[in-house]
Chains A and B, each alone.
Chain A
Amino acid sequence: MQLRPTLALAGLLVLALSSCAANGGMENAAQPQTQINISAATSLHEPFEQLAQEFREQHPEILLSDISYDGSSTLATQILAGAPTDVFASADEPNMDAVQEAGLATTASIFATNTLVIAVPHGNPGNINELADLAKATTVLCAPEVPCGSAAKKLLDLAGVQVEAASLEQNVGTVLVKVATGEADAGLVYRTEIANEPTVESIIPPDAHKVVNSYPISVVDNASDDEQEVAKREAAEVFVDYVLSEHGQQVMSEYGFGSPSTSAQLKTEQK
């Protein structure tokens, strides 16, 4: 086999360059759409997919990329590190605060709330009835570092229950999976998570309403005067307003999210 490394390399380079060029050409040829990127907490997946689909139909002038879902702290870290994000929807306020402190989020509005429930596998094999039962069962929780974990800790502290978790998961999704597959007897998850999960049952602890997670949403913006940046900012505001609109709020409540109480609807102007 006679390899011609020089030729092969040159060929690869040409290929790579031409594909870049083709890509650029396509973007230029398309209608002048403004593209925006949204980063949202994992727990927002279902309502946001519906909202995004409707938004795309109503606003053809805005090109909404696929929403990137992850833990709020991971998303905040990515945004602080310069990820091209135009809207950030967080599952808690500390992570939004971090983005605001860096001067990247101008206005944050609470658009939804969530509370915790005890999730148990179908048939409740661990015979769980209240928070106190979690102490003697195989229980999985979110790690206290992430929003669902800090909420779980608050709720357990309120009930005066000490739980040695079998595992401290990185997000609410893996807690639910470990309960749904029967690996754990119980887990604390957001009540919105169990709505579409037929393999788990849920128990609402009496103090659940005292530990409320607030979801803030904000335009992410580096305050540039560049024409393209301004257009992105305006398009991002259109999306944020859509989520905050009456219809947006209705979709959130259809998926089990609580409404932001009027007193909690704080709009903080930075600078």
Chain B
Amino acid sequence: MTAQVDVGTRAPSLVLLPAVLAVALLVLPLMALLTQASWSTLWADVTSPQALQALGLSLRTGLLATVLCTLLGVPLALLIARSSPHVAQVLRALVAVPLVLPPMVGGVALLLLFGRTSGIGQLLEQLWGFTLPFSTAAVVMAQMFVALPFLVLTVEGTLRTSGAAYEQTAATLGAGRWMVLTRISLPLAAPGLLAGMILCFARALGEFGATALFAGNAPGRTQTMPLAIYTAFNGAGAGRESAVALSLLLLAAAVLVLVCLRAWRPGALK
């Protein structure tokens, strides 16, 4: 960006072709989803009891996961943002691991840690007669595992860059750490926090791999939208049409999330 300033701000024309190809790669498949949908049965597919059940479960678990991620993630983000560079680097790397890990691996790992035959799993069963796998709680945990990094890294970035000067001023004027946090740091980071929560929710809504392995696929209990899509797609005949219809519903949700994110972005950049 900086090296090009004196030559002009326009990109060299050589990048045009690969850039167009890149856009085509991203957009054309989604267009195919739109053109291949059977519009006559779309409404019936989207409003079928199974679809509504899956959508309801996805929204409930996604929202719960987002709330829990916020409660755990914001303190972690704050800790990273206010740590020494060395500690922050280590923590950030730890948080980023689930981000680059295939979610399937997360599902296997969760199953090994919390499965019925694991130490924790046996303890849970003995103490409360509760088993995590195949439960809605497992869906929320799988979603948190993959979505938490999005929230932490977004919020941490905002906290680190915004308002250090205000915080120092407030501190010299006698404000305690807690007051600085609640009156200055968090309000200033609010746009970043909201962006992080929206990203976190979007990621939780789309979670498939970890959920499939750790929580399974039981309609009404663990079958979220992505699992309903995969199950429908595996069915012969009419199943594929409803898979496309449900995919469109998730696509619409994703676009909605982006619109929300866009609306808050200018604030986040200031």
Q: Do A and B bind?
A: yes
Binding site for B on A (CB under 8 A): 2-3, 5-6, 9-10, 71, 73-74, 76-77, 94-95, 98, 138, 140, 143, 145-146, 164-170, 174, 178, 181-184
- Interchain CB contact under 8 A, A143 and B234: yes
Distance between Cα atoms of A184 and B134 in the complex (Å): 9
- Interchain CB contact under 8 A, B116 and A145: no
Residue numbers in A under 8 Å from B233 (CB-CB): 73-74, 77
Closest to B232 in A: A145
B216's partner among A5, A9, A178, A181 (CB-CB below 8 A) is A178
From A10, A95, A138, A166, residue with most partner B Cβ within 10 Å: A166
The answer to whether the Cβ of B75 comes within 8 Å of any Cβ in the partner chain is: no
Residue numbers in A under 8 Å from B236 (CB-CB): 73, 76, 94-95, 98, 145
**What 1/0 flags go to B123-134 for Cβ under 8 Å of A?**
000000001011
Residue numbers in B under 8 Å from A10 (CB-CB): 14
Smallest CB–CB gap between A28 and chain B, Å? Answer: 28
Residue numbers in B under 8 Å from A74 (CB-CB): 233-234
Interface size of B in residues (CB-CB distance below 8 Å)? 31
Residue numbers in B under 8 Å from A73 (CB-CB): 233-236, 239
- Interchain CB contact under 8 A, A182 and B116: yes
- Interchain CB contact under 8 A, B216 and A169: yes
Residue numbers in B under 8 Å from A183 (CB-CB): 111, 115-117, 133-134
B107-160 with Cβ < 8 A to chain A: 111, 115-117, 131, 133-134
The answer to whether the Cβ of B23 comes within 8 Å of any Cβ in the partner chain is: no
Given contacts A6-B14, A73-B233, A170-B230, 14 further A-B contacts (CB under 8 A): A3-B3, A10-B14, A74-B233, A94-B236, A138-B134, A140-B216, A145-B234, A145-B235, A145-B239, A146-B234, A167-B222, A174-B213, A181-B117, A182-B116
The answer to whether the Cβ of B15 comes within 8 Å of any Cβ in the partner chain is: yes
Residue numbers in B under 8 Å from A5 (CB-CB): 12, 15
The answer to whether the Cβ of B18 comes within 8 Å of any Cβ in the partner chain is: yes
B210-244 with Cβ < 8 A to chain A: 212-213, 215-219, 222-223, 230-237, 239-240
- Interchain CB contact under 8 A, A166 and B134: yes
With A98-B237, A182-B116 as known contacts, state yes or no: A170 contacts B12, CB within 8 Å. Answer: no
- Interchain CB contact under 8 A, A166 and B218: yes
Smallest CB–CB gap between A177 and chain B, Å? Answer: 9
Binding site for A on B (CB under 8 A): 3, 12, 14-15, 18, 111, 115-117, 131, 133-134, 212-213, 215-219, 222-223, 230-237, 239-240
Residue numbers in A under 8 Å from B116 (CB-CB): 182-183
Residue numbers in B under 8 Å from A6 (CB-CB): 12, 14
Closest to B235 in A: A145
16 pairs, CB–CB < 8 Å, chain A vs chain B: A9-B15, A9-B18, A73-B235, A73-B239, A74-B233, A95-B236, A143-B234, A145-B231, A145-B235, A164-B218, A166-B134, A167-B134, A167-B217, A168-B216, A168-B218, A183-B116
- Interchain CB contact under 8 A, A167 and B235: no
- Interchain CB contact under 8 A, B217 and A170: yes
With A145-B239, A166-B134, A169-B216 as known contacts, state yes or no: A182 contacts B234, CB within 8 Å. Answer: no
Distance between Cα atoms of A215 and B236 in the complex (Å): 16
Closest to B220 in A: A164
B240's partner among A71, A77, A138, A166 (CB-CB below 8 A) is A77
List the 8 closest A-B pairs by CB distance, nearest first: A167-B216, A145-B235, A166-B134, A182-B117, A73-B234, A168-B217, A145-B234, A94-B236
From B12, B212, B217, B219, residue with most partner A Cβ within 10 Å: B217
- Interchain CB contact under 8 A, A181 and B115: yes
Closest to A166 in B: B134
Distance between Cα atoms of A95 and B237 in the complex (Å): 9
Distance between Cα atoms of A98 and B14 in the complex (Å): 46
Residue numbers in B under 8 Å from A181 (CB-CB): 111, 115, 117
Smallest CB–CB gap between B21 and chain A, Å? Answer: 12
From A2, A76, A164, residue with most partner B Cβ within 10 Å: A164
Distance between Cα atoms of A166 and B230 in the complex (Å): 17
